[in-house]
A = this chain, B = another copy of it.
Amino acid sequence: MPAIHSYGFGLATENSAGEVIEVYYAHFGLDAGAEFASEVLTCCGLEPGQCGYVKLDGSLRERLRTHLGALANSEKTLVLCVLGADMPPASVAEAFLKLHLLSARLVKPHELNLNGMFGVLHNLAWTNEGPIDLDELHDRQLAARLQGRQLSVTSVDKFPKMSDYIVPSGVRIADTARVRLGAYLGEGTTVMHEGFINFNAGTEGPAMIEGRISAGVMVGANSDLGGGCSTMGTLSGGGKQVISVGKNCLIGANAGIGIPLANGCVIEAGLYVTAGTKVQLLNTQGELQRNCKALDLVGVEGLLFRRNSLSGAVECLPLQSEVELNEELHAHN
């Protein structure tokens, strides 16, 4: 029985060479039964297990009419994309479908094969007139000016901002420029102006995000990332360790982590703890037990990391009290 990983019906933007450079999926989802899988694979000319997409001409639109809904009568370029399996994305249409699946919470970060995606995506100008191929931008900008319009470029990037595609339920995002399509925002997440969430990264549930969640980083429920705090990424800058943040954690403002953090841990404001940071391990009475590397503490819950402001040493000790989010800030998302 044929099955697919996922599918999407979308509106595609093409450049002047007719290449699909972006897709907005109006309807999409995970495997929806053998009959549907068989039908859409056939439409795309795919064998089971294969991935691809097709531009929908008149006859395909007719055949898929019940699935197209409001799209059916559009004069825009429509595409059907089918992922027969979770393989490295080989086209813009496939890559965008995977990013949609993440932001719609149909899959979680790290659950999709995104290998090679950077090479597949086009670097585009994202504008108030839609995405534009960079080779065509200058002429479009000049033409707009001559016609008295402002063609404003809000981003030059391979990834659009999430909110122009999907706004999942129960979130606030103060400045949407800072959340890429492909981010996963758990219900109850607030991303403040200084917050940032990359693709394939996000939050499991309620969270106050005023710091930066790098690609690949997941943050547990009821955690608080303070203003300007940093989670070290693995894409650049030398970090090798995949970072995560547990539940009920607090990373203070302007602090940072280069290690995964277990549940209930706190990093003091302004302190950056990297894998190589040596720390003085204290007991609950504040007595020195021994020195160790921060990396040795990975997996231990309920730790407070701070810098002793008289000795200058980074200390780590068991926490007594728990971190609490301000309910009023989240109850009404």
**Chain A interface (Cβ < 8 Å from any Cβ of B):** 11, 24, 26, 70-71, 74, 76, 118-119, 121, 123, 125, 127-130, 134, 137-138, 141-143, 145-146, 148, 150-159, 161, 163-164, 167, 169, 171-178, 180, 193-194, 196, 208, 210, 212, 214, 224, 226-230, 232-233, 235-238, 250, 252-256, 258, 268-272, 274, 277-280, 291, 307-314, 323, 325-326, 328-329, 331-333
B253 touches A145 (CB 8 A): no
A253 touches B232 (CB 8 A): yes
A167 touches B137 (CB 8 A): yes
Query: Once the chains are docked, how many angstroms separate the CA of A332 from the CA of B174?
Result: 30
Q: Which residues of B contact A235 (CB under 8 A)?
A: 326, 329
A-B contact pairs, 29 of them (CB 8 A): A11-B146, A24-B145, A70-B143, A118-B332, A121-B332, A123-B333, A137-B167, A154-B177, A155-B173, A156-B167, A156-B171, A156-B172, A156-B174, A177-B177, A193-B196, A194-B212, A229-B254, A230-B254, A254-B254, A254-B255, A256-B269, A269-B272, A271-B272, A277-B309, A291-B310, A307-B312, A309-B313, A310-B313, A312-B312
B236 touches A208 (CB 8 A): yes
Query: Once the chains are docked, how many angstroms separate the CA of A227 from the CA of B142?
Result: 34
Instruction: From the candidates B24, B146, B174, B313, name the one contacting A76 in the complex (CB within 8 A).
Output: B146
Query: Once the chains are docked, how many angstroms separate the CA of A175 from the CA of B272?
Result: 25
A123 touches B331 (CB 8 A): no
A73 to chain B, nearest CB (A): 8
Q: Which residues of B contact A134 (CB under 8 A)?
A: 167, 169
Query: Once the chains are docked, how many angstroms separate the CA of A133 from the CA of B230?
Result: 32
Copies of this chain, complex-wide, total 3
